[in-house]
Amino acid sequence: MGGSAVVVGGGIGGLAAAIGLRAVGWEVVVAERAPVLADVGAGISLHANGMRALDALGAGEAVRAAARPQYTGGTRAPGGRWLARMDGTVLERELGTPLVGIPRADLHRALRAALPEGCLRTGAEVRSVDDSDGGRVRVLLTGDGGESATATASSTVTGTEDVLDADLVVAADGVGSRLRHRLFPDYPGPAYSGSTVLRAVTAHPVELRTDFALTWGRGAEFGHIAFRDGRAEWHAVLNAPPGVRPADPLAALRRRFADWHEPVPALLAATRPEAVLHHDIHELTVPLPAFT
């Protein structure tokens, strides 16, 4: 029997950690600062190791049901020439599964469904973590409690503040993690990778010919992942300074990729402007110091 844990962050990582901890007997509260779990993100492709991890968590079947196996695809040049082909049947034979493509929102939903009511508390931002006691850790949350229900770590609610005492805190608060900074104050943190990514899911099915493709051009990459319902996620990764935001990103991409092979222009044509997400990509370039 485990103890009690607070997982900070209800993204893919935090939910997976919570399911795994519960499976080995821990009582878990996941604190997520977003007040509402909207259908955010575009698409994720999962390789065999990811699917094995989801199977171990008991979420594999639900994910497979919402995902599309990627049997055909590969890497191309902007004119359409194939640089490398991928055969999903070979991966399936060798590794037990081809790559699968799934909307991030569906993956998140499948993981949420594997947690009991009340385990995930939305609208709950972790403000501080105090481990000076040497034993249990004290976690201070603020927010409106969102869709929260009964907490499993011992909890004291004061107005919009809530204190949870737990044996373990899992920092799953993303690449810009505040808790990482709290644990490793000298660590430099994430650095801009030099690339910015624009992504979206198409508004309707698109004629694709292959389940996925990645096309490499000078200073730019464009990829797509086909979904079960015929729509697709696409992403355009561009070398650019951080913080640059075109006034009309979709129009800028349609110009940038106008002479790339199909289905690149078709995917952009099938996208609504408001569906486009734009993020600068940050990465951890320096290994983290060890915990122990």
CB-based contact 141:124 (threshold 8 Å): yes
Give the separation between CA 190 and CA 217, rounded to whole angstroms.
26
Residue span binding ligand FAD (CB under 6 A) among the ranges 42-50, 155-163, 242-250, 267-275: 42-50
The CA R_g of the chain, rounded to the nearest whole Å, is 21
Give the length of the chain. Answer: 292
DSSP conformation letters of 157-225:
EETTEEEEEESEEEE-S-TT-HHHHHH-TTS---EEEEEEEEEEE-SS----SSSEEEEEETTEEEEEE
Stretch that binds ligand FAD, among 30-38, 70-78, 82-90, 202-210 (CB under 6 A): 30-38
| Residue 31 touching ligand FAD (CB under 6 A) | yes
**Which range of residues in 76-84, 85-93, 170-178, 214-222 is near ligand FAD by CB under 6 A?**
170-178
Contact between 279 and 244 under an 8 Å Cβ cutoff? The reply is no
Site string for ligand FAD, 223-262 (x = CB under 6 A): ------------x---------------------------
8 Å CB contact between 272 and 184: no
Nearer to ligand FAD, 33 or 76 (CB): 33
Which of 203, 242, 196, 200 shows the shortest CA–CA distance to 221?
196
- Which one, 259 or 283, has the nearer CB to ligand FAD? 283
Check binding of 281 to ligand FAD (CB under 6 A). Answer: yes
CB of residue 1 to ligand FAD, shortest distance in Å: 26
Residue 138 engages ligand FAD in binding (rule: CB under 6 A): no
- Residues found near ligand FAD in the complex (CB under 6 A): 8-14, 31-34, 44-46, 50, 125-126, 172-174, 178, 197, 235, 281
